[in-house]
Amino acid sequence: MSDTTVKSRKRRGLIKAAGALTAAAGLGFPYISRAQDKPIRVGVPTILSGRVAQLGISSRNAIQMEVEKFNSAGGLGGRKIEVITRDSKGKPEEAANNVRQLVNGDGCEIILSAESSAGAFAVQEVIRELKVLCLHTNSETSSLTADPKIRVPTAFRTCRQGIHDAIVSAAYAGNVAKAGGLKTWMSCSPDYAYGRDNTSLFLEYLKKFNPDVEIIGETWPKLFQADYTENITKILQAKPQALYSCLWAGDLVSFVDQAGIYNLLGQTSLFAINMADYTTLTAVKNLPAGIHSATRYIKTYPATAENEAWGEAYHNKFSDYPTNWSWENAVAANFVFEALKKTKSTDSAKLAEAIRGSKIKSPFGADGSVTMRAEDQTLIGYAMGWGTTIPKAPYVPKVTPGDWKAVLEHEAEWKKKMGYA
């Protein structure tokens, strides 16, 4: 074999190798490059039509605002987040179908379930099967995460929880009742799962914190009832000194407007847990002073520059006010961002491990941060408080903060009693 032949073979080999490399570059490298550029798809099933559409829209807005910040800061090593929203119309079966479609059809790797409690429980069962990371952002029903039988390893809750609210609310109301001599109480709450659970827990803890309180009656209007006359006249007949209500949104607005013309609130102190949310506060045209309410979302509580800036940024961007659901979704988005940065992965199990027990800075935290408690994968440390309304901004000028130490102690007892711990 001559040198020329050997050189020729070497040259052909080099040409082949170069060709193969070029082909690999043409096929393989762009593939890797596309994987890096491929957006991380986050699915958001929520309620965008019907009577509570406003809450779903405010959830989507909050997620959008946070995602834009994340993406403009470079995303995850260049990968941007793409949000895909689907409307469940408030129907649990639609919510469950939407999650399947988002994961299997749209390729979503993470779910932010901005559903009400009815939808959240349906979504939870789909997540149990699909094993995708899911953060429930709006369901306050305690059992969703408190009950070990319902809990799912890759599902978390980033919103208020009924038992937390009940303890803080009853502690505040119990103290006000002691100071003001409010002994006779009634309740007027919507007749469905949330209304009944919330009210029974509140009354249970109210009696615990102030045994002098006597519950003299109850009235249960339907959800989305237009006319509260029959409920108001019943309350007038019973003449309670105080009234508890977990009516919300337009229902609470109608109730307050109709109670006003009977001068009910001149005779009875109203404790309306859902009053201090901008959409409700601004909808009541003649907002009476002195309604006791929990802070759902107001930019003045927590009274920090970060919270005020977030509330104003939302208002400036959407020409609308954020709701209670808005901050809860913003928290969810930020837990996801932190987990993505920490794991540099979209693997659900890894992300869940990163979120479980983690603590992140947040404008909505009682001390500037919120924690995802590991044992039941639910949010703690968020700002909760109660105060009385005035007819104009800041609407609830003085807020009595909830005591998280007391909340956690009573919650632990409650879990034992319910067989959850």
Partner 1 sequence: MDFQALLSCFSSASCVVTQTTGGLISGMLLFLVAAGLSLIFGTLKVVNFMHGSLYMLGAYFAYSLYVATGSYTVAVIGAALGVGLFGLIFERLFMSRVYNTDVLMQLLVCYGFILILDDAVKIIWGAEFLSMGMPAAFQRPPILLAGGVLPVFYLFLIAVTLVVALALGLLISKTRAGKIVRAAAINPSMTSALGINTALVFGGVFALGGLLAGLSGALAAPVRSMVSGMGFSILIESFIVTVIGGMGSITGALVGALLIGLVRSFGTIGFPLFTEGIMFLFMTAILIAKPSGLFGKEL
Q: Please report whether residue 251 would count as binding partner 1 according to CB under 8 A.
A: yes
- Cα–Cα distance, 407 to 404 (Å, whole number): 5
Place of tokens 């404008």: 363
Q: Which one of residues 2, 4, 72, 237 is an interface residue with partner 1 (CB under 8 A)? A: 237
DSSP per position, 283-344:
H-TTPPTT-EEEEEEBTTBS-SHHHHHHHHHHHHHHSS---HHHHHHHHHHHHHHHHHHHH-
Instruction: Between 68 and 320, name the residue whose CB sits nearer to partner 1.
Output: 320
- The minimum distance between CB 200 and partner 1, in angstroms, equals 14
Collect all residues with Cβ–Cβ distance below 8 Å to 179 and sequence separation of at least 6: none
Q: Which one of residues 233, 391, 397, 416 is an interface residue with partner 1 (CB under 8 A)? A: 233
- State which H helix or E strand residue 110 sits in: strand 110-113
For residues 66 to 105, the per-residue mask of contacts with partner 1, x marking binding by CB under 8 A and - elsewhere, is ----------------------------------------
Q: Which one of residues 38, 285, 344, 392 is an interface residue with partner 1 (CB under 8 A)? A: 285
| Residues 321, 388, 251: CA angle, nearest 5 degrees | 55
Q: Identify which range of 222-230, 304-312, 325-333, 363-371 contacts partner 1 by CB under 8 A.
A: 222-230
- State which H helix or E strand residue 62 sits in: helix 53-72
Instruction: Between 111 and 273, name the residue whose CB sits nearer to partner 1.
Output: 273
Q: Which one of residues 37, 106, 227, 312 is an interface residue with partner 1 (CB under 8 A)? A: 227
For residues 38 to 67, the per-residue mask of contacts with partner 1, x marking binding by CB under 8 A and - elsewhere, is ------------xx-xx--x----------
- Cα–Cα distance, 352 to 349 (Å, whole number): 5
- The minimum distance between CB 45 and partner 1, in angstroms, equals 17
17, with CB counted inside 10 A (0-12, 13-18, 19+), is: exposed
Instruction: Between 14 and 193, name the residue whose CB sits nearer to partner 1.
Output: 193
Measured CA to CA in angstroms, residue 126 lies from 99, 100, 101, 360 at distances of: 7, 7, 11, 27
- The minimum distance between CB 221 and partner 1, in angstroms, equals 9
Binding site for partner 1 (CB under 8 A): 50-51, 53-54, 57, 218-220, 222, 224-227, 229-234, 236-237, 249-251, 253-254, 257-258, 260-263, 279, 283-286, 320
